[in-house]
């Protein structure tokens, strides 16, 4: 059985392709009494989308949602760029943003210190991928974290 998020992602993939964009992330969340369907998109090639791009994606998505009607609640559709704290979800993201400062949260505790203490949250410079591991330098220590162990990762602001 296909989950609601899988259905929405499939529809969003169709909508972004029609606007020459790529889907970075999708969220279906309740905020207060209102449900929101949020699409975070970028132009093919990685550039930030303009207002016209977001409007094209929104129009295409609204049309697809009107036909398939998968959502059980009234909702507000929002389409925007991923912003400065862009999420990293695909292996390609970890390659593309090599050299950037990232925040990373693992699913389980990961030992990175000589004292063997397990942590889940890391902030460091991304060095890309090596096999199935994401490479990140945290306080001068190079870590190889299995991709399947990453629960959440995003770009961090550099000052």
Is a pLDDT exceeding 70 seen at residue 154?
Answer: yes
Is a pLDDT exceeding 90 seen at residue 56?
Answer: yes
List the 34-43 sheet strands across, edge first: 21-31, 34-43, 75-80
More confident residue, 113 or 56: 56
- Do 74 and 103 lie in a common domain? no
pLDDT for res 1: 47
pTM of the entire predicted model? 0.82
- Do 34 and 72 lie in a common domain? yes
- Do 114 and 65 lie in a common domain? no
- Do 66 and 100 lie in a common domain? no
Last residue of a domain, one of 80, 108, 129: 80
d(CA 123, CA 59): 37
Tell me the average pLDDT across 117-137: 94
End-to-end CA, the chain? 46
- Do 108 and 68 lie in a common domain? no
d(CA 145, CA 134): 5
Q: What percent of the chain has pLDDT over 90?
A: 80
Tell me the average pLDDT across 34-46: 93
Q: What burial class does residue 94 get, using C-beta atoms within 10 Å of its C-beta: 0-12 exposed, 13-18 middle, 19+ buried?
A: buried
Last residue of a domain, one of 57, 80, 103: 80
For helices 51-68 and 4-18, angle between their N-to-C axes, nearest 10 degrees: 130
The answer to whether position 99 is within a domain reads yes
3-state SS, residue 139: coil
Question: What range does the domain containing 113 cover?
Answer: 91-155
pLDDT for res 115: 60
- Do 117 and 96 lie in a common domain? yes
Q: Give the chain's domain count.
A: 2
Q: pLDDT tens digits for 5-22?
A: 999 999 999 999 989 999
Q: Identify the weakest region by mean pLDDT among 39-53, 110-124, 134-148.
A: 110-124
Q: pLDDT tens digits for 61-97?
A: 999 999 999 999 999 999 999 988 999 999 999 999 9
Last residue of a domain, one of 50, 80, 110: 80
- Do 40 and 12 lie in a common domain? yes
Q: What CATH number does the domain containing 44 carry?
A: 3.30.300.70
Mean pLDDT value across the chain: 92
- Do 25 and 74 lie in a common domain? yes
* Residues 99/105/110/115 CA torsion (nearest 10 deg): 80
- Do 76 and 137 lie in a common domain? no
The answer to whether position 86 is within a domain reads no
- Do 96 and 74 lie in a common domain? no
Is a pLDDT exceeding 70 seen at residue 2?
Answer: no
Is a pLDDT exceeding 90 seen at residue 146?
Answer: yes
The answer to whether position 43 is within a domain reads yes
Q: What CATH number does the domain containing 118 carry?
A: 2.30.30.100
pLDDT for res 159: 75
């Amino acid at each position: 059985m296909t989950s609601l998020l899988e259905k929405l992602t499939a529809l969003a993939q169709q909508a972004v392709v029609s606007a020459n964009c790529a889907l970075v992330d999708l969220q279906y969340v309740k905020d207060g009494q209102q449900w929101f369907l949020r699409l975070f998109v970028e132009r093919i090639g990685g550039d930030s989308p303009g207002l016209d791009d977001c409007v094209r994606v929104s129009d295409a998505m609204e049309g697809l949602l009107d036909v398939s009607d998968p959502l059980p609640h009234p909702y507000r559709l929002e389409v925007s760029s991923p912003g400065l704290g862009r999420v990293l979800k695909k292996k390609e993201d970890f390659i593309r943003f090599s050299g950037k400062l990232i925040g990373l949260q693992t699913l389980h505790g990961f030992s990175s210190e000589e004292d063997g203490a397990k942590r889940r949250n890391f902030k460091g410079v991304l060095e890309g991928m090596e096999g199935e591991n994401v490479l990140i330098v945290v306080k001068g220590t190079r870590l190889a974290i299995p991709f399947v162990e990453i629960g959440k990762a995003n770009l961090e602001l550099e000052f």
